[in-house]
């Protein structure tokens, strides 16, 4: 086995690469950051699977997390909704594992049989981050299989959505690839059979020429009836709605090519345009495949079921047993352990409830509840286990009703340049074709028909249809490399139109890794203890953060405690008079700059604690850059304790809005749109779901793309947050490239039309111009898109 260097071992965890604590955990002279990482190493080592560490440096994932309880998987009803196949002996299940990221992961997960002989097959789909496991259900249970995965550091992500809306294989991409294969096969054979015509072999036997023509028509039929059928159905459906989309001239051109080819081959007057037809459909389908390309392992249409667990622990007659969430009813008593989600509105019956509602409301401060209080669904319990009595079923909870609001789920499709241009292109194309036909009608009817059909063939918007998908697909791949994942290519065009940007605060512009304080002044250890004991009595966010920063156990009681909400607090601790708070509260002359807690002990000023900058890296420069060309707004469900810190980043104080509930955010976005703004919203939680849907472009910001994020148009990794201005600039450049390629395609069409209106377009000329324009567009868009990416420092 390949060992790591000693310097690497001394500074980072051998398993996951995290920084080692002051006293690391040891095993076999290896150092680990936590007991979890050490445990995974020992499991692998005991099964002779230490080669896991040989293929990649620190391939594991951190194990600093709460252990999950998978006893609900013993319930046959729940298990039946998750497995792919089961019989009396064998069960197969496909699990989504976010931790899959390298070759070591593949090697380990495909060797699961070495941990248990009851697992006889495991296959990895690396792109989808899935593992398909087949096991002997008489020897090992589904729960044991999942617990084994958790034990080796590959915990599967199982949510309610896996049961309620079991993922089905998406056959659309497979069908599209099949259509491309059919069109490509026919195109190649037709080109081969058309060589005699290309080289003008006049002596070629008429019988063979006629036979090759009929064979070409035979190859054209599957292309027309199978590969190209979507263009005809799309054109017809849009025509019924009175819409001329890009598929109309494409379908018209394909139909005319086939009809004219049949006429020429049947009457022995020409070779037809079968080769052009097949090449056109082949390249169009490739462009369509490029346009539909997306990320298998990301979900842009998540709802509350992705956030909720599959089951909950029911307490009945003093016994605990798992219960499927959809069977939970009013009056049920449930047990919620530390870091588990509250699945339904309920009353607290037992235990100390300290709940994190930041994902639902946006409030960053944990909420404490007392016995008998109502706890709404969606909060995460932070401390020990609690017992609750359900007062509303899952389907009627506040969170579910919020999500099921129609305004949260409706969103119009994005209008693209191709959609806009196709309407006028179709009208002009038909006008030119009719004019050419009518011009020759009185003199030569054959030439009139030839010119009419030739215009429809040569002016078929192949290049226009390809310019958008190839340009946008190139940009999509560049965004992907920079950790910005878009739902589809149309999102790029919508991003180029944005003139207003709205940010959520908690989890979006705040840095989850930042925090703490810097102290300016002098405090003895005893004085720090007294400050901590006094601050523990306050619920203000700064007080809570200060207590967390000082991290001292309670020692002295507090007498004569008083608090001025939002200003400061005072009291007697260990016989000393303490005051903590703002400069105004302590009658200090200097105004506060940022989040500051001043300290006065026995009327002597001791200094102040200054909260560290909590914004994401680059936010200040990002706000300055975006503010030059877009209108910036902030919508936060949090309190306004950071208003003073945020004011420098936003041009007007009226653009900062706090204590916003989900409906308030949605209404504000709608108000901006009614004033003519094109709005891009950045959010991260369920409380942002409505605003993300309502905005023209909704982007979910997350520090782990595999974690839950609300339904959106794009997912932005927090590491790439500072690149937002570059992404917008590249999107605008991409639209510019599409416009330029449209001009290039018009130049090709103009050359072709010169011959077409005269009825002089030959199959050879069509066979040259059509692929030449296509290849030109593909090369131009790909090269230019990468050039602009370099210009914007994204490559």
Burial grade of 543 (CB within 10 A; 0-12, 13-18, 19 or more): buried
CA distances to 91, 123, 476 from 83, in Å? 7, 15, 34
* The pair of three-digit structure tokens given for residue 439, joined into one six-digit string: 């011009």
Report the mean per-residue pLDDT for the chain.
Answer: 80
Task: Identify whether the C-beta of residue 719 lies closer than 8 Å to the C-beta of residue 513.
Answer: no
Q: How high is the pLDDT of residue 782?
A: 85
405, 408, 410, 413 alpha-carbon torsion, rounded to 10°: 180
Residue 787 has pLDDT above 90, yes or no: yes
Q: How high is the pLDDT of residue 580?
A: 92
Name the 3-class secondary structure at 665.
Answer: helix
pLDDT tens digits for range 504-536:
887 788 876 656 677 888 899 999 999 999 988
Name the 3-class secondary structure at 697.
Answer: strand
Q: How high is the pLDDT of residue 762?
A: 63
What average pLDDT score do residues 545-551 get? 81
With a CB cutoff of 8 Å and minimum separation 6, the contacts of 153 are: 15, 36, 37, 40, 60, 61, 63, 99
What secondary structure does DSSP assign to 239-250, as a single string?
HHTT---THHHH
Q: How high is the pLDDT of residue 573?
A: 93
What average pLDDT score do residues 23-27 get? 82
pLDDT tens digits for range 71-101:
778 878 778 878 888 888 899 988 888 778 7
Q: How high is the pLDDT of residue 364?
A: 56
Residue 488 has pLDDT above 90, yes or no: no
In the numeric block, the tokens 């002997």 are attached to 136
Q: Which of 146, 137, 130, 139 is nearest to 70 (CA)?
A: 146
Q: Provide the pLDDT confidence category of residue 68 given band limits of 50, 70 and 90.
A: low
Q: Which of 380, 386, 376, 383 is nearest to 351 (CA)?
A: 386
Residue 126 has pLDDT above 90, yes or no: no
Q: How high is the pLDDT of residue 8?
A: 40
Residue 594 has pLDDT above 90, yes or no: no
Name the 3-class secondary structure at 598.
Answer: strand
Residue 361 has pLDDT above 80, yes or no: no
* The pair of three-digit structure tokens given for residue 479, joined into one six-digit string: 């965004």
With a CB cutoff of 8 Å and minimum separation 6, the contacts of 723 are: 482, 484, 794
Q: How high is the pLDDT of residue 304?
A: 56
Describe the strand order of the beta sheet including 90-96 as a list of residue ranges.
Answer: 85-86, 90-96, 130-136, 119-125
Residue 644 has pLDDT above 90, yes or no: no
What one-character DSSP code corresponds to residue 4? P
Residue 684 has pLDDT above 50, yes or no: yes
In the numeric block, the tokens 């009703």 are attached to 401
Q: Provide the pLDDT confidence category of residue 67 given band limits of 50, 70 and 90.
A: low
* The pair of three-digit structure tokens given for residue 763, joined into one six-digit string: 């199959």
Q: How high is the pLDDT of residue 555?
A: 86
Looking from the CA of 554 toward its CB, the CA atoms found within 13 Å total 6
Residue 1 has pLDDT above 50, yes or no: no
CA distances to 21, 186, 221, 729 from 176, in Å? 52, 15, 17, 32
* pTM over 0.75, yes/no: no
44 versus 170: the higher-pLDDT residue is: 44
CA distances to 168, 172, 269, 430 from 263, in Å? 45, 35, 8, 21
Q: How high is the pLDDT of residue 224?
A: 92
CA distances to 34, 156, 159, 166, 310 from 306, in Å? 29, 13, 5, 11, 9
Q: Which of 116-125, 179-188, 517-526, 544-553 has the lowest mean pLDDT?
A: 544-553
pLDDT tens digits for range 310-344:
778 889 888 888 888 778 889 999 998 877 888 88
pLDDT tens digits for range 148-186:
888 888 888 776 555 444 444 445 667 888 999 999 999
Q: Provide the pLDDT confidence category of residue 654 given band limits of 50, 70 and 90.
A: confident
Rg (CA), the chain: 33
Q: How high is the pLDDT of residue 767?
A: 61
Q: How high is the pLDDT of residue 79?
A: 81
CA distances to 481, 648, 649, 699 from 624, in Å? 25, 10, 7, 20
pLDDT tens digits for range 386-426:
999 998 877 666 666 655 555 555 556 667 777 677 677 77
Share of the chain above pLDDT 70, in %: 82
For residue 402, count other CB atoms closer than 10 A to its CB. Answer: 21
pLDDT tens digits for range 243-260:
777 788 888 888 888 988
What average pLDDT score do residues 116-130 get? 85
Residue 751 has pLDDT above 50, yes or no: yes
Residue 143 has pLDDT above 70, yes or no: yes
pLDDT tens digits for range 272-303:
788 888 888 998 888 888 766 655 445 555 55
pLDDT tens digits for range 178-229:
999 999 999 888 888 877 766 655 455 566 677 888 898 999 999 999 999 9
Residue 730 has pLDDT above 60, yes or no: yes
């Amino acid at each position: 086995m390949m060992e790591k260097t000693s310097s690497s071992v001394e500074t980072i965890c051998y398993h996951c690469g995290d920084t080692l604590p002051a006293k690391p955990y040891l095993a076999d002279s290896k150092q680990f950051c936590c007991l979890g990482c050490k445990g995974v190493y020992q499991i692998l080592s005991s099964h002779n699977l230490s080669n896991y560490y040989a293929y990649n440096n620190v391939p594991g994932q951190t194990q600093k997390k709460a252990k999950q309880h998978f006893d609900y998987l013993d319930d046959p009803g729940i298990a039946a909704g998750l497995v792919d196949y089961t019989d009396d002996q064998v069960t197969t299940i496909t699990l989504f594992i976010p931790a899959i990221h390298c070759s070591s992961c593949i090697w380990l997960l495909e060797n699961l049989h070495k941990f248990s002989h009851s697992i006889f097959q495991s296959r990895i789909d690396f792109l989808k981050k899935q593992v398909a496991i087949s096991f002997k259900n008489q020897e090992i249970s589904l729960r044991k299989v999942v617990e084994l995965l958790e034990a080796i550091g590959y915990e599967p992500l199982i949510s309610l959505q896996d049961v309620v809306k079991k993922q089905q294989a998406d056959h659309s991409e497979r069908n599209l690839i099949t259509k491309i294969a059919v069109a490509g096969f026919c195109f190649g054979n037709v080109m081969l059979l058309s060589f005699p015509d290309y080289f003008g072999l006049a002596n070629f036997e008429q019988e063979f020429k006629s036979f090759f023509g009929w064979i070409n028509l035979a190859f054209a039929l599957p292309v027309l009836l199978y590969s190209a059928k979507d263009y005809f159905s799309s054109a017809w459906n849009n025509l019924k709605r009175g819409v001329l989309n890009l598929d109309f001239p494409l379908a018209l051109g394909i139909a005319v090519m086939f009809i004219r080819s049949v006429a020429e081959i049947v009457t022995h007057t020409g070779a037809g345009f079968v080769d052009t037809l097949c090449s056109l459909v082949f390249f169009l389908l490739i462009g369509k495949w490029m346009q539909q390309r997306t990320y298998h392992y990301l979900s842009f249409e998540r709802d509350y079921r992705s956030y909720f667990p599959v089951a909950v622990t029911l307490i009945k007659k003093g016994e605990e047993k798992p219960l499927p969430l959809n069977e939970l009813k009013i009056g049920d008593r449930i047990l919620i352990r530390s870091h588990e989600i509250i699945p339904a509105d309920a009353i607290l019956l037992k235990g100390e409830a300290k709940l994190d509602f930041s994902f639902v409301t946006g409030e960053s401060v944990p909420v404490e509840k007392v016995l008998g209080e109502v706890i709404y669904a969606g909060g995460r319990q932070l401390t020990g286990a609690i017992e609750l009595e359900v007062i509303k079923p899952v389907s009627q909870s506040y969170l579910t009703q919020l999500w099921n609001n129609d305004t949260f789920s409706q969103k119009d499709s994005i209008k693209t340049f191709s959609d806009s241009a196709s309407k006028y292109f179709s009208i002009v194309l038909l006008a030119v074709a009719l004019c050419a036909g009518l011009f020759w009608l009185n003199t030569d009817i054959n030439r009139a028909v030839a010119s009419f059909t030739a215009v429809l063939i040569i002016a078929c918007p192949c290049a226009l249809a390809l310019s958008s998908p190839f340009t946008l697909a190139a940009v999509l791949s560049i965004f992907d490399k920079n950790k910005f994942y878009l739902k589809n290519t149309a999102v790029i065009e919508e991003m180029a139109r944005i003139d207003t940007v709205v940010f959520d605060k908690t989890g979006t512009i705040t840095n989850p890794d930042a925090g703490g304080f810097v102290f300016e002044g002098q405090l003895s250890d005893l004085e720090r203890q007294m400050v901590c004991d006094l601050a523990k009595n306050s619920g203000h966010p700064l007080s809570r953060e200060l207590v967390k920063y000082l991290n001292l156990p309670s020692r002295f009681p507090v007498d004569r405690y008083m608090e001025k909400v939002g200003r400061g607090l005072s009291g007697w601790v260990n016989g000393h008079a303490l005051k903590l708070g703002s400069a105004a509260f302590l009658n200090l002359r200097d105004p506060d700059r940022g989040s500051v807690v001043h300290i006065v002990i026995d009327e002597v000023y001791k200094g102040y604690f200054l909260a560290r900058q909590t914004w994401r890296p680059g936010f200040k420069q990002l706000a300055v850059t975006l503010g030059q060309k877009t209108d910036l707004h902030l919508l936060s469900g949090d309190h306004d304790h950071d208003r003073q810190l945020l004011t420098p980043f936003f041009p007007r104080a009226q653009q900062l809005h706090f204590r916003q509930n989900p409906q308030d955010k949605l209404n504000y976005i709608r108000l901006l749109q009614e004033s003519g703004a094109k709005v891009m919203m950045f959010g991260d939680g369920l409380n942002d779901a409505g605003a993300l849907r309502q905005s023209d472009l909704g982007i979910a910001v997350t520090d782990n793309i595999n974690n839950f994020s609300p339904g959106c148009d794009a997912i932005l990794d927090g590491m790439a947050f500072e690149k937002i201005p570059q992404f917008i600039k590249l999107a605008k450049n991409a639209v510019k490239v599409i416009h330029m390629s449209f001009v290039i395609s018009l130049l090709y069409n103009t050359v072709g039309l010169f011959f077409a209106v005269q009825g002089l377009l030959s199959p050879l000329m069509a066979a040259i111009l059509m692929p030449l324009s296509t290849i030109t567009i593909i090369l131009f868009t790909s090269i230019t898109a990468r050039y602009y990416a370099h210009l914007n420092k994204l490559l």
